[in-house]
Amino acid sequence: MRTAILIAVFVAPLALRAQAASAPSLAPAPPYVETSGYGERRIAPDRATVMINVTAKGAAAAAAAENGRIQARVIDTLRALGFGNAAAIASYNVGPNYEPDPAGNRAPRLSGYAARAAIRVRVTDIGAIGPIIDAALARGATGVDGVFYESSGAEAARRSALSEAATMAHADAEALARALGGSLGPVISATTTADSRRYEMQMTRSVSGVSGGGPMPIVPSEILIIAGTQVRWQFIAAK
């Protein structure tokens, strides 16, 4: 019995030392400074997408047939203007048509069917947008769902904005490190974010609003490109 007790006394410390040797280090992570920055660039568009709306209402078959006739007229007109290869049907559907109660006292009521199509026209000549819209409306299109501007220089502008963002983040980090009584060490991590925002000219115009007084004036929107970064540096305390 006494021998067993002595063995237990000497074995237990050996086991504790083995566990301590295998335990992971709990040393605190080195201090760091983390800042973010952003940059932006505004560039002129050099191409655009025009979304033309065609809607016909009535009995299901009649609405679908009328919609098809209007589509054909619009696309033939675009082809005559030299944009036939740039035009395509982006969406098409036929479904119940609900008209709102004029007095607003009742729920919308079912009134036949509506056939709706969207014709997408991609152009590289910004000046052609107005004539395209006027020609489409004159041939039966019921509206324009939007004009969406793009630029072939968007990627170069994004990288330039990203460089500005990194410069801002570094300047802020240096100022913060000095205020804390130290300096910046090497970069630990860096991430980027980008948000290309297109200012879209939204318009909807009915056929009844066509004046026939010349092409619709379209002023291109500029494109705002924003890039951001978040960077973490090691903080070196003053000795």
Asked if residue 199 and residue 187 are part of one domain, the reply reads yes
Strand partners, 92: 117
Euclidean distance between CA atoms 173 and 128, whole angstroms: 48
Give CA–CA dist 149/47, Å, rounded.
6
* Whether residue 66 is found in the same domain as residue 114: yes
Q: Are residues 145 and 55 in the same domain?
A: yes
Q: What are 230's two structure tokens?
A: 């978040």
The model's pTM: 0.68
Domain assignment of residue 75, yes or no: yes
User: Is there a domain that residue 21 lies in?
Assistant: no
pLDDT tens across 124-150, in order? 998 899 999 999 999 999 999 989 889
CATH number at residue 105: 3.30.70.2970
Q: Are residues 100 and 120 in the same domain?
A: yes
Same domain? 179 vs 111? no
Position of tokens 């009844």? 208
Phi and psi for 10 in degrees, rounded to 5?
-85, -30
* Residue 116 scores a pLDDT above 60: yes
Q: How far apart are CA 177 and CA 167, in angstroms?
A: 15
Regarding whether 171 and 130 lie in a shared domain, the answer is no
Q: What would the pLDDT profile of 145-203 be if each residue is shown by its tens digit? A: 989 889 999 999 999 999 999 999 999 999 999 999 999 999 999 999 766 554 444 44
The closest alpha carbon to 86, from 128, 56, 53, belongs to 128
Q: How far is CA 225 from CA 37, 67, 156, 181, 200, in A?
A: 14, 38, 10, 36, 13
Q: Domain for residue 101, yes or no?
A: yes
Q: Domain check: are 173 and 108 in the same one?
A: no
Backbone torsion region of residue 181, taken as left when φ is above 0, otherwise alpha when ψ lies between -120 and 50, otherwise beta? left
Return the axis-axis angle of helices 60-80 and 129-138, rounded to nearest 10°. 140
Q: What is the mean pLDDT of residues 20-44?
A: 81
Quick one: average pLDDT of 201-212? 40
Cβ(60)–Cβ(72) under 8 Å? no
Same domain (yes/no): 132, 159: no
In the structure encoding, which two tokens stand for residue 131, read together? Answer: 């004539």
Domain range spanning residue 237?
Answer: 27-45+152-208+220-239
Give which of 94, 99, 98 is closest to 67, Cα–Cα: 94
Supply the pLDDT for residue 9: 33
Answer yes or no: is 22 within a domain.
Answer: no
> Given this model, what pLDDT does residue 212 score?
47
The domain boundary, picked from 150, 175, 199, lies at 150
User: For the chain, how many structural domains are there in total?
Assistant: 2
Does any domain span residue 131?
Answer: yes
* 3-state SS class at 54: strand
- Is residue 7 in a domain? no
pLDDT of residue 37: 96
Q: What is the pLDDT of residue 99?
A: 87
Question: What CATH number does residue 234 fall under?
Answer: 3.30.110.170
